[in-house]
Amino acid sequence: MSTDLFSLAGRRALVTGSSQGIGLALARGLMQAGAEIVLNGRDGGKLEVAAAQLRDEGGRVDRLVFDVTDHDAVRAAVDGLEAGTGPIDILVNNAGMQHRAPLEDFPADAFERLMQTNVASVFHVGQAVARHMIGRGAGKIVNICSVQTALARPGIAAYTATKGAVANLTKGMATDWARHGLQCNGLAPGYFDTPLNAALVKDPDFSAWLAKRTPAGRWGRVEELVGACIFLSSEASSFVNGTVLYVDGGITASL
């Protein structure tokens, strides 16, 4: 099989929530596969630091500052980018947040923030980008799900609900948009060493539990998500639609 199937040369990818962690790692990986990158976040300063890192590595990188939970701001930013500098060929909906609390005490405002950041953002950005992709008859959308798309743990019921919703929204995107030439899929990380999981990584009891619970016996490294993202962003996945690809060291396969 030709490696050209996985080449992203000549493509441009927008990655939301990409100033650090998984988003930045995926942006770097797509860049190394040949894509031009557009980083997104709310903090322009943090984005510029991340963009400078990728440019120093030889990438073509731009940044687009907007709040993924603001429908009008998303639409204006995406439309402006498309009109000003050209098409978005690949969208990675990565922006997300976590809030841990027992469900019986879970704050209502935190629940709403999770829904807006983790679910509504996928709709807002996905719709804004897809409207342009549909006109071109091609496009790749990768929505970042989670091991919590399939599993739950104490204290994160709301987060689990959001990631289950992202998986079903992904299926809906594929159902509506596949006929227009779009491939819309989910990428579900297991437990990875990221800023979002910093408290868990520092907890020796949790890390010991995770090593026993995960067949691979360890935390994931963010770079280990890159291959799956390149696959879902490239011609190699031209007939893959509405699926969720788990990259989790086997945790969802094992009791």
pLDDT in tens, 185-236: 999 999 999 887 888 999 999 999 999 999 999 999 999 999 999 999 999 9
- pLDDT of the residue at 187: 98
Distance CA(143)–CA(246), nearest Å, equals: 12
Q: Given the DSSP bridges, would you call strands 139-144 and 36-41 parallel, antiparallel or unpaired?
A: unpaired
Distance CA(26)–CA(32), nearest Å, equals: 10
Distance CA(148)–CA(97), nearest Å, equals: 13
| Structural domains of the chain sorted by starting position, each given as residue range(s) with its CATH number in brackets | 3-248 (3.40.50.720)
Q: Cβ distance 188 to 149 under 8 Å?
A: yes
Intervals of the chain under pLDDT 50: none
- pLDDT of the residue at 147: 97
Distance CA(125)–CA(61), nearest Å, equals: 19
- pLDDT of the residue at 2: 64
pLDDT in tens, 127-145: 999 999 999 999 999 999 9
* Closest-CA residue to 239 (of 196, 157, 195, 183): 183
Encode the chain in three state secondary structure.
Answer: CCHHHHCCCCCEEEECCCCCHHHHHHHHHHHHCCCEEEEEECCHHHHHHHHHHHHHCCCCEEEEECCCCCHHHHHHHHHHHHHHHCCCCEEEECCCCCCCCCHHHCCHHHHHHHHHHHHHHHHHHHHHHHHHHHHHCCEEEEEECCHHHCCCCCCCHHHHHHHHHHHHHHHHHHHHHHHHCEEEEEEEECCECCHHHHHHHCCHHHHHHHHHHCCCCCCECHHHHHHHHHHHHCHHHCCCCCCEEEECCCHHHCC
Residues identified as active-site: 159
* Closest-CA residue to 173 (of 126, 138, 132): 126
Q: Cβ distance 215 to 251 under 8 Å?
A: yes
